[in-house]
């Protein structure tokens, strides 16, 4: 029997967001390729027990938890090991900057921007699964990555599929780029049914197992709009060349049309271990236990245009994409607040897009949508928008 291929020599990894869904899949890929990787550091939010388990399993040298109140528990869980322990935002930055070949940036939401940027500042290559780094602060983030000669490998399934489909082609040869959307749990629902949707119904994704915020974004198709913004920065492509196709089977994750009429597609079963393995091993291939694609068994693949009437969040996001500047930052911050309010049953599902659009319009009229010059400025805009969004909810009695 032929031994599975390995990354040689073993690649040193740091995992930011080790206890989330991406972190768990990353752990599975590492364990499935013994001898290919060496885990330097792991970081998580507040789940000290699970973070300690990951640190022990992957034999990390450092574990950092974002919540300072979880420090004592993490230290106790790792007592008797040689694993160093840290807590608080500075510890996450310390983990990100440690000597490694690749940092997995998988801390969800805007909380992941600062530690992931710390990896860039330290000159570490990044496998990016946190789209907020590029939605909230795309221009300064990518500019600094270029200055530091840091490679950003896209770990989101759609962007990774596009990355593979490009095959090293220049962005100048691209005529069109499509990200696919499953359509989420409400793809076949009427506008009236969607308007009355509960959080539990919105969290019942048909194809993917994700965290609650991303799952709600998938149900509204806001996630696909955020991914378009991310794609603009990852691939250096004009907004007008980016589009979305609804593809309920989630087999084709992205397509590229070139100037000669050729079209390539990135295809795989819906399993995050596939793009994770591609990033961890790139430019080599790492074996996984992901289910293999059998097109004959599937039988047919279908595609349709998104319905902006039933899914206005995608329209709002595409408007922010076209506007550029700080508008994606504003969109993302307002959306995080509104998704949280929906999950808390303070607003309806349709209110998410309605309030996000209203907040974007407010900042646009105030002339506050200029491109942030650096990460700190982008995060300042993010903070202001969140406060304004909370004030809007309070003013509505929510």
Chain segment 243-283, per-residue pLDDT in tens? 999 999 999 999 999 999 999 999 999 999 999 999 999 99
Residues 6 or more apart in contact with residue 143 via CB below 8 angstroms: none
- Alpha carbon distance 347, 330 (integer Å): 19
What mean pLDDT, rounded, does the chain reach?
Answer: 94
Strand boundaries in 68-165, DSSP class E? 84-87, 102-105, 126-128, 152-154
Instruction: Grade residue 2 by pLDDT with cuts at 50, 70 and 90.
Output: very low
pLDDT tier for residue 5 given thresholds of 50, 70 and 90: low
pLDDT reported for residue 254 = 97
- Whether the predicted pLDDT of 210 surpasses 80: no
CA distance linking residue 315 with residue 243, whole number of Å? 11
Q: For tokens 């602060």, name the residue.
A: 137
pLDDT in tens, 325-361: 999 999 999 999 999 999 999 999 999 999 999 999 9
Edge-to-edge strands of the sheet including 152-154?
A: 84-87, 62-65, 37-44, 11-16, 102-105, 126-128, 152-154
The two structure tokens encoding residue 117: 């940027």
Share of the chain above pLDDT 70, in %: 97
Helices H / strands E in the chain, number of each: 17, 11
All structural domains of the chain, each given as residue ranges with its CATH number in brackets, are: 11-150 (3.40.50.720)
What pLDDT was estimated at residue 243? 97
pLDDT, one tens digit per residue, over 45-100 is 999 999 999 999 999 999 999 999 999 999 999 999 999 999 999 999 999 999 99
pLDDT at 1: 42
pLDDT in tens, 140-159: 999 999 999 999 999 999 99
d(CA 168, CA 395): 51
pLDDT for 398 equals 66
């Amino acid at each position: 029997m032929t031994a599975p291929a390995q990354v040689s020599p073993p690649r040193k990894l740091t995992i930011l967001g080790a206890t989330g869904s991406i972190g768990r899949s990353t752990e599975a890929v590492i364990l499935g390729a013994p001898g290919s990787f060496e885990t330097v550091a792991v970081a998580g939010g507040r789940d000290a027990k699970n973070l300690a388990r990951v640190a022990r399993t992957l034999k990390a040298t450092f574990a950092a938890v974002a919540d300072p109140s979880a420090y004592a528990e993490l230290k106790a869980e790792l007592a008797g090991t040689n694993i160093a322990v840290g807590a608080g935002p500075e510890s996450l930055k310390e983990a990100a900057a440690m000597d490694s070949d690749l940092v997995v940036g998988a801390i969800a939401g805007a909380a992941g921007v600062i530690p992931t940027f710390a990896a860039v500042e330290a000159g570490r290559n990044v496998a990016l699964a946190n789209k907020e780094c590029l939605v909230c602060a795309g221009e300064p983030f990518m500019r600094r990555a270029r200055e530091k000669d840091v490679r950003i490998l896209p770990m989101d399934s759609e962007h990774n599929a596009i990355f593979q489909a490009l095959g090293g082609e220049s962005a100048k040869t691209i005529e069109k780029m499509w990200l696919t959307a499953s359509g989420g749990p409400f793809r076949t629902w009427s506008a009236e049914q969607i308007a009355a949707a509960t959080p539990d119904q919105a969290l019942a994704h048909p194809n993917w197992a994700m965290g609650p915020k991303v799952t709600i974004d998938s149900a509204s198709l806001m996630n696909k709009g955020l991914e378009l913004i991310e794609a603009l920065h990852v691939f250096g492509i004009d907004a007008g060349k980016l589009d979305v196709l609804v593809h309920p089977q989630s087999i084709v994750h992205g397509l590229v049309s070139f100037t000669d009429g050729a079209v390539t597609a990135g295809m795989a079963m819906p399993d995050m271990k596939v793009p994770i393995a591609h990033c961890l091993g790139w430019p080599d291939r790492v074996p996984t236990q992901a289910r293999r694609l059998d097109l004959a068994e599937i039988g047919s693949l279908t595609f349709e245009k998104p319905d902006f009437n039933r899914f206005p969040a995608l329209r709002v996001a595409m408007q922010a994409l076209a506007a550029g500047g700080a508008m994606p930052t504003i969109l993302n911050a307002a959306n995080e607040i509104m998704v949280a309010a929906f999950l808390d049953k303070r607003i309806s599902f349709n209110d998410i897009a309605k309030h996000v659009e209203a907040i974007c319009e407010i900042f646009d009229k105030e002339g506050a949508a200029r491109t942030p010059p650096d990460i700190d400025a982008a995060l300042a805009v993010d903070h202001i928008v969140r406060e304004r969004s909370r004030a809007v909810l309070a003013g509505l009695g929510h």
